[in-house]
Amino acid sequence: MKDDYSDKNPDLGRLYAEHLDTVKARHDDALEKSGAAHAVIFSGAPRYAFLDDNTYPFRANPHFVSWLPVTAVPFSYIVYSPGEKPLLIYYQPKDYWHTVPAERDKCVLIGEIDDAAQAFGIERINPTTTLNLLHLARGSKTAYELECMRLASRRGADGHRAAEAAFRAGASEFDIHQAYRAAVSLGDDELPYGNIIAINEHGAVLHYTDLERSAPAESRSFLIDAGAQVHGYASDITRTYSAADANFNALIDRMDALQLAIVDGVRVGADFRDLHLETHRLLAEVLVDADLARGAPDDLISSGTTSAFFPHGLGHLLGVQVHDVGGHLADESGVTIDPPSGHPFLRLTRVLEEDMVLTIEPGLYVIDMLLDNLRGSPAEGQINWDTVDWLRPFGGIRIEDNVRVLSGGSENLTRDAFAAQE
C-alpha cells in the first residue's frame, strides 16, 4: 500500500536507517543474553475462517514490522545474525525454503507458528528471555518510530475532523465510519483497531462496534475512538462531542481539563500507577461539581464510586501495536509490576522513560451494570441518581491523547496533530 502520509516527511528514509541500527543493537543484546546466535522473525500466516476458504484479516507479527515497514506480506522471514546484514526472505510459492541458517540449534524464532514446517526445525520458538529483553527495550521509541507515530496522529486527526462533521450533519454511525475511512484513506482491515463510533447512549459501551445504519431520531452526543497507522505504527485517539446540550458540553470541557492536567504529569520518572490514581482523585472532584456524586474524594474512591464511573485504565503503551507490549515489565528478567489494588485493568504500571509513547484516556460513563452493583452499599448514598438519569442518554465521555515522554514534560502528538489543521 502506498502511504501518502509518508511523503509528508522526506527524512523518513534516513530515520529508518538509524532505526535499524537501534533494532539490530537490541537484538544483539537479546541474542547474547539468550545464548543464541541468530534471530529468525516470521511475519505470520493468514488464518482461515472455520469451514471456509477465506482468511481473516492478516496482521503481521509486530516484531517483523519493527524491522521492516511491511504490514501485509505473510509467510516471510527476516534472518539476523549479529555483525551481518539482515536477510529478508519474501514468500514465493515455488521456493522460499533454502535460505534459513543451517545452525538451527543456535537460532531463536520469533512469531506465531501454526505449522512445524514454518519453523524449519528451529526448536527455540518465542523464548521468554529473548522476548522480555526485546519487549522491555521496545518501550522507548526511535526517531523513526516517533515520526511514523506523528504522521499516524495527523492521519487520525484528519479522520476525526471528518467524523465530527458527519455527526453534526446528522449522519448514522455507519456513515460516520465511512467518512472517517475516506478521510484517512484506509480500509477496515488497515485500521489499527476497529473504530468505536458511538452516538448517544452507545458511548457507555466501552468497545462499541455495532455501527447502526440508520441515524437516531435525535443525536445528543457522539464518542469516537478511532486511530490510523503509518508503516504499521498506530495512533489511538478519542474525542466526545455534544450536539446541542450546554450542560453536557460543559461536562466534556471539565473532562478535557482533567485529561490535560494528567498529561501535565507525564515526564521521565513518573510512576504511571500514580497518574492513574490521581485521575480517580480528579474525577471525584468532577463528579461532585457535576452533581453526580457527593462526598470527599477519598471516600468516593474507597467506596468504588469513581471506579463505577471510570472502570478502565488510564492508558497503555502505544507503538507498532495499539496496546504495545511490555506495559507491566519491571526489568529484562521478566518480573512484572502489578496494577494498584482495585484497578485490575490498568495496562501500564511502569515508571516512565524517555521516548515512551502512551495514551492518556480518562473517562466518565453511565454503565448501569456497574452502578447497580453499588446499590445496597455505602456508595449508593454518595450518588445523585437523578443526575445519573440525566446523563444516561448521552452515554459517556472519553478524551484520549497520544503522549511522548520527555525528561522535563511531554510531547502531545494528538493535540499537535489537531493544531496543525487549524
Model confidence at 93, pLDDT cuts 50, 70, 90, reads low
Are 185 and 296 members of one domain?
yes
Question: HSE-up of 128 (CA within 13 Å, CB side)?
Answer: 5
Domain boundary among 109, 137, 165: 137
Are 239 and 93 members of one domain?
no
Does position 91 have pLDDT exceeding 80, yes or no? no
Q: Distance of CA 239 to CAs 19, 55, 223, 283, 349, Å?
A: 32, 33, 6, 17, 24
Q: How many domains does the chain have?
A: 2
User: What is the reported pLDDT for 97?
Assistant: 44
User: What is the reported pLDDT for 3?
Assistant: 62
Grid coordinates representing 2 are 502506498
Q: What is the pLDDT of residues 1-22, one digit of tens each?
A: 456 787 778 889 899 999 999 9
Q: Return the SS3 of 143.
A: helix
Domain boundary among 119, 137, 155: 137
User: What is the reported pLDDT for 96?
Assistant: 47
User: What is the reported pLDDT for 6?
Assistant: 77
Q: 240: buried, middle or exposed (CB in 10 Å: 19+, 13-18, 0-12)? A: buried
Domain boundary among 137, 168, 188: 137
Other CB atoms within 10 A of residue 197 CB: 30
**What pairs with residue 229 in β-bridges?**
234
Region 214-240 average pLDDT: 98
User: What is the reported pLDDT for 102?
Assistant: 59
Q: Return the SS3 of 363.
A: strand
Region 300-323 average pLDDT: 98
Model confidence at 372, pLDDT cuts 50, 70, 90, reads very high
Order of strands, sheet of 357-360, starting from the edge strand that comes earlier in the sequence? 357-360, 401-406, 409-412
User: What is the reported pLDDT for 104?
Assistant: 82
Least confident of 25-29, 65-69, 101-105, 277-281: 101-105
Q: Nearest Cα to 267, choosing from 351, 183, 335?
A: 351
330 and 130 Cβ atoms separated by less than 8 Å = no
Are 150 and 278 members of one domain?
yes
Are 124 and 180 members of one domain?
no
Model confidence at 257, pLDDT cuts 50, 70, 90, reads very high
Does position 135 have pLDDT exceeding 80, yes or no? yes
Q: What is the pLDDT of residues 154-195, one digit of tens each?
A: 999 999 999 999 999 999 999 999 999 999 999 999 999 999
Q: What is the CATH number of the domain that holds 100?
A: 3.40.350.10
Are 104 and 133 members of one domain?
yes
List the beta strands (DSSP E) in 136-274: 196-199, 221-226, 229-230, 233-234, 237-242
Are 168 and 243 members of one domain?
yes
Does position 89 have pLDDT exceeding 50, yes or no? yes
The domain of 415 spans 143-420
Using CA atoms, how far apart are residues 413 and 411, in angstroms rounded to an integer? 6
User: What is the reported pLDDT for 421?
Assistant: 82
Q: Which amino acid is at 164?
A: E
Are 414 and 313 members of one domain?
yes
User: What is the reported pLDDT for 143?
Assistant: 98
User: What is the reported pLDDT for 140?
Assistant: 97
Region 93-110 average pLDDT: 68
Are 211 and 317 members of one domain?
yes
Are 128 and 194 members of one domain?
no
Q: Is the pTM of this model over 0.85?
A: yes
Mean pLDDT of the chain: 95
Does position 98 have pLDDT exceeding 60, yes or no? no
Q: Return the SS3 of 5.
A: helix
Region 86-112 average pLDDT: 74
Q: What is the CATH number of the domain that holds 282?
A: 3.90.230.10
Q: What is the pLDDT of residues 138-148, one digit of tens each?
A: 999 999 999 99
